[in-house]
Chains A and B, each alone.
Chain A
Amino acid sequence: MSLLELDGVKVHFPVKKGILFDRTVGHVYAVDGISLSVEAGQTYGLVGESGCGKTTLGRAVLRLVDVTDGRVVLDGTDVAQLPEKEMRSFRRRLQMVFQDPLGSLNPRQNIESILSEGMAAHGIGGNREERREKIKEILAKVGLPGNALSRYPHEFSGGQRQRIGIARALVLEPDLIICDEPVSALDVSIQAQVVNLLEELQKSMGLTYLVIAHDLAVVRHISDVIGVMYLGSLVEEAPSDALYEEPRHPYTRALMSAVPVPDPEVEDRRERILLLGDLPSPANPPAGCRFHTRCPWKQDTRCATERPELRDLGGGHRVACHFAAEIASGEITRTSGEVVPAAHEGSGGSGGSEASGAPRASGASGGGAAKGSSSGERASEAPAGT
């Protein structure tokens, strides 16, 4: 049995309006029916562009936001249904590493106080001395010296702070750690350091991770299974390598086409699928397939009316697209959208008229899940090259 199982999890935020007292006028469907499972000792990567609900999903698992519907089962216990009091002691088994290393540490607490607080709340380590020993042990594991104890968060660098955040999660010896964009706020050189540390800790302590990120390279490196989210739901889920080698959902294909390839010859031939339009508002999601408004393979039947379920296409590769098989076999070709050679990306007027400039820009932001790595650099270099 899997360590963590999500079954039809929904998180809807009420939209309120009112002069004196607020009235609910609608909902933001941040997470809208997600089912997935994370195996013990493995890493599940969750990717998607900003606003797709991946952070909310992570918080729902920790019950930092209330789950509207569905079940979040950790090791046989439904976290979403636990009474407040039991939930508090259950939190020991679920921990989180945050995106902003400085913001996630209380600036007025020193490191010892930050790390011992959780232990005190759960009665781990009888007295101060025992706790201090344990903290020193954990600090050594994340590569911080014992004399860090009396120092304050602002005295550390970004990477060091993130390692403190990881240490805070580790002191409670959790089963599952949710890493919400664990490296996106760090320099690239430090990113590798932290990712390697996470992997090392997983091996030595048998941890299970749910990694939420938008950086496809990081996710591929660290994950065993990857889920791709779009507008509050999962569109594709597959073992890491399978997803990168053969993305089956149109959205995933567009995302993957934004990832640069290290081989210059392949890179020259790489084609970029540009998505049209913006991410629709999660307060008013499109009917049918959530992606049909931007899908380059959109069909006249089913897409706009029927919401696709995740279907297993073999080998644990699950896709939520009515026509995934047909697209893969080439029976269906693109009906809209634009494909440009990646090498010309960002070079202004090369691919079309002025009018196509706007959708292209938003198409690039659709592929923004891959931002950071190198598409930005390419864009700035391209004009010089042409």
Chain B
Amino acid sequence: MSHAAQGRGKAGFITGFLIAPIALYLTFVIWPYVQTFGYSFTNWSGQSPVFDFVGLDNYAALLEDEVFRGALWHNLLLLVFVPVITILLALFFAFMVNAGGRSGAGGVQGVSGSRLYKVVYFFPQVLSLAILAVLFGAIYRSDEGGLLNGFLIKTGLVDPQHPIEWLNEPNFVLWCLLFVVVWHGVGFYLVLFSAAMQSVPKDIYEAALLDGAGRAQTFFKVTLPLLWDSVQTSAVYLGIAAMDMFVLVSTMTSGQFGGGPDHHSEVMATVLMRNFLYFGKSGYACAMGVVMLVLTMILSVITLRATRRERIEF
């Protein structure tokens, strides 16, 4: 490659370095995305090479599809609650870790053992969703063998004869899944916000304290505005995670690719996979993919717009 670079100058070098990444990316990422758009206008089954162009039929069918509409609603619920709960908890814990300690001569301090808390809280982030599915599948077991039921029965809160069927209870199942996402994510965002808090110069806090600001005031008037960039980024990341949910739903709930009981935990991703791999309706599945893409893009833009504030330089 070095010969080529010397021989044909910069252009050769640039091409040489870009050719392999572009080829891979084009083949396995961009082209499939483009094809999804194309297939979404056909009645392709995925198995046979023949298919007809059906225009917008798949999209029209999507509007009529009760299961898909339910899944869309669940995704929207998650989209609101996953970021809000995770970010609030992470901000609260980050503030406690960094400023919840005894007040000393040097101003507000973190609690003792704050490093240990960060180490423990962050750990779920390195575990795969598959491990989480196994772990929480066992925790939410519908008899006394499940950690949650076992605990509630021991403390007398639940009748041993009628333990709660967490993942089979239409009203609970989505919230049980939501808790898994929060459990997984809080530590990560705690560390993220902590890093941002620590990068705020100490004298800003000291000035606030000298002006007589309490801890709560310091948080809302000083810390939060300075953290706004990180909060915004976090909301987008958590929003994208809430649009996905495939692994947890498909492995923890009942039904082919999950979604049970009776579609109460259905998300768009599980409907898509079922149509693609089980019903053999690949064209239809592609239309769902396009809807998911458009929604993700709209939501990212809305989040960034709606939460935009003037950036504070420090």
Our verdict on whether A and B bind, yes or no, reads: no
Chain B contacts to A: CB under 8 angstroms: none
